[in-house]
Amino acid sequence: MADRKVAVTGIGIISPLGNDLESTWASALAGRSGVGPITKFDASSLPTRIAAEVRDFEPTKYFSKKYLRQMDPFIQYAVATSYMALEHAGLHEDKPPAERTGVYIGSGLGGITTIENTFEKMKEKGWRRGISPYFVSGLIINLAGGQVSIFHGLKGPSMSHVSACSTGAHSVGEAALAIRYGRADVMIAGGTESTITPLSVGGFCAARALSQRNDDPTKASRPFSASRDGFVMSEGCALLVLEEYEHAKARGANILAMVSGYGATSDAHHVTAPHPEAEGAQACMRLALEDAGLAPEAIGYINAHGTSTMADAVETMAIRGVFGDHAEKLAVSSTKSMHGHMLGAAGSMEGALCCLALERGVLPPTINLDDPDPACDLDYVPHEPRRVQVEHVLSNSFGFGGTNACLVFSRPPG
């Protein structure tokens, strides 16, 4: 059954650019930054006091208040986004058989908000009064997918992939494999994250990974720029509804794109730094192209991992290594310049934007590219979106621990 084709028929997004798909897409095309001062806690003692936060999210639009204390925000984002994704796919009422519909939703850090808040309450009130009976079920990573399965009554495979910044892309790729191998007909897949907390921001500050451009937050995320000084932490959720192609056609679904290729590798090099010669990244892109049955020249656009760190030059090297002379013709952009680094949700967020770029014939830009690094010398679609129709796009996700995931999305047949 491995020859079954996989279509993308729905997308749901909650992000710093907007709390739904259309507002997020409009912000991306407008080159609008979602970065600002941290409001979720007092960050005044930290060297980094900015982040890309989700704003004005109203969870009770999707479920009653009684569920709020049962779910960390990263789970709340996933449940809310799943409703949007299913509605966008036209499956919110006419659902496929529950046993043939699965959920692969991962996260990088999971319920760190719940962990931090509960620890403070326990110190103040003791364990009996300070720890909720929902503490464990409210924070563990698989409960994002678990709650989505419960809310929608979905009985197919439910798993949570955890691979740092590659999580969202691995979740989509593995969900596509589940459909290709006949384990499901429909999958809800992606990543979710809510990590704007004292401990997580402080931890990345200690690792010297974050931008400290506190006085100019909208300019802080600047991939491929010579003056980049670290990534900007972000949060949110992006979920894709994947569907077996014939199944989608039979019900008259609007097919946004096809998941045509998937690659996964490991650098086996360092806990945070990429391989200096980009061996794992190059191998991952080649695997995704091979899986899609495409020559490098078929790719018209790459949504780069592009984190606004020194690793941007390594990714540029990797793209040149895989695409050779064709690299000069590629459009490459990093949407993290606008929505920041959504960690475990980044790969599915960028995959979602790739699908919209294919469907709508517009490539989102890289903003803040005011002073390009000479080592980053590709066409990064600077400042403004580009209206051009491409047939195949590649989305790169590379995470701590050297974990790599690449996805190829293609325009649907016909």
Catalytic residues: 165
Distance CA 340, CA 272 (A): 18
Q: Can you say whether the dihedral through the CA atoms of 236, 186, 104, 209 is positive or negative?
A: negative
Residue type present at position 361: G
Angle at 366 between CA 363 and CA 367, to 5 degrees: 130
AA letter at 141: I
Pairing of strands 101-106, 392-399: unpaired
Q: In sequence order, what are the beta bridge partners of 120? A: none
Question: Token pair of 267, please?
Answer: 């650098």
* Residue 32 CB-density burial (10 A; 0-12 exposed, 13-18 middle, 19+ buried): middle
Tell me the sheet residues that pair with 397.
405
- Residues whose CB is less than 8 angstroms from the CB of residue 321 and which lie 6 or more positions away in sequence, other chains included: 278, 282
- In angstroms, rounded to a whole number, what is the distance separating the alpha carbons of residues 223 and 305? 9
Look at residues 271, 237, 273 and name the one whose alpha carbon lies nearest to residue 351: 237
**Alpha-carbon span 71 to 79, nearest angstrom:** 10
- The radius of gyration computed from the CA coordinates of the chain, to the nearest angstrom, equals 20
Alpha-carbon torsion, ordered 362, 363, 365, 366, to 10 deg: 170
